[in-house]
A and B are shown apart, each in its own frame.
Chain A
């Protein structure tokens, strides 16, 4: 599935989930830090499309396809609307491994300070949903 196809399929108001595996990604006041949205060495931020899924189903994807693979506990997710990403001139590219709903945010600038700036803005617009782990 190409990035164009995915964008055609998504509404600008559709939500994407960035699964959170560590506390460094959010603050005590339940806001999200920019490092949750900093791209990895491949210039990608891994996200999942959540359209038509319940919270439970979304978390199940995170648990099975993100956290458990890494031997980590799923702490929650940062949800961000597609329009916030497109507004930054970034793209969303489908990457159906390890899950059909998986995608990457790509198209990041090469200048790190610009990437940081964008990540700050994305984090400010994202909503944190924590899981009540026992």
Chain B
């Protein structure tokens, strides 16, 4: 429950809090609902992917309403932080990779928060040039990958079957570019 409120921001960074403002509302709603779980309100949104259909709160087991979209943002942010920490030093891959910079981490957080939780959660990794990668994977020949560095550019590439390929670069400011949204949706259908 504490994790839903913990943004993990130890330093102020304007990009860290940017993105989809609804996320903060979701977290807050979850928190407030949890506070009243012992009372009448036992239906609320769950902000973690790891959950169960019952919860033991102050000694009582209550049923939770699991309908609707599960917000995976907190889980993804935790994974992002882990990847960042693992790739802080140069040569993290054993082949001379560049370290992930604080700025790249910050942009990746911003970008992650722009991805609607109605879309599947990406796998998070890193590339040798120090960019952070989000991957949506269905099968060997159905995969979509985006990466972000210290600027506001997304580099993307994807395969939707052996013969359907797409790649390019998109600028992002305050919302996820439509082409990226479209490709993620295309993969999940």
Please list the residues of chain A having a beta carbon within 8 angstroms of any beta carbon in chain B: 21-22, 24-25, 27, 31, 33-35, 38-42, 46, 66-67, 70, 72, 112-114, 116-117, 119-121, 124
User: In the complex, how many residue pairs between chain A and chain B have their CB atoms under 8 Å apart?
Assistant: 80
Whether B172 sits at the interface, judged by CB under 8 Å, is no
Name which residue of chain A comes closest to B165, CB basis. Answer: A117
B49-57, B68-76, B90-98, B180-188: which one contacts chain A?
B90-98
Dominant SS among interface residues on chain B:
strand
Chain B CB count within 10 A is highest, among A25, A46, A114, A117, for A117
Shortest beta-carbon distance, A131 to chain B, in Å? 15
Measured between alpha carbons, how far is A121 from B147 in the docked complex, in Å?
17
Residues of B within 8 A of A66 (CB): 94
Binds A, one of B8-16, B31-39, B107-115, B133-141: B133-141
Pairwise interchain contact B96-A41, C-beta atoms closer than 8 A: yes
Report, as a range, how many residues of chain B touch the other chain: 20 to 34
A66-B94, A67-B94, A113-B167 known; A120+B127 contact, CB < 8 A: no
Q: Which residue of B lies closest to A32 (CB)?
A: B140
Task: Name the one of A21, A34, A40, A42 contacting B143, with C-beta atoms under 8 angstroms.
Answer: A34
Which residues of B are interface residues toward A (Cβ below 8 A)? 83, 86, 91-98, 123, 125-129, 133, 135, 137, 140-141, 143, 145, 147, 155-159, 165, 167-169
A66 to B96: give the CA distance in the assembly, Å: 12
- Evaluate contact between B97 and A40: CB separation under 8 angstroms: yes
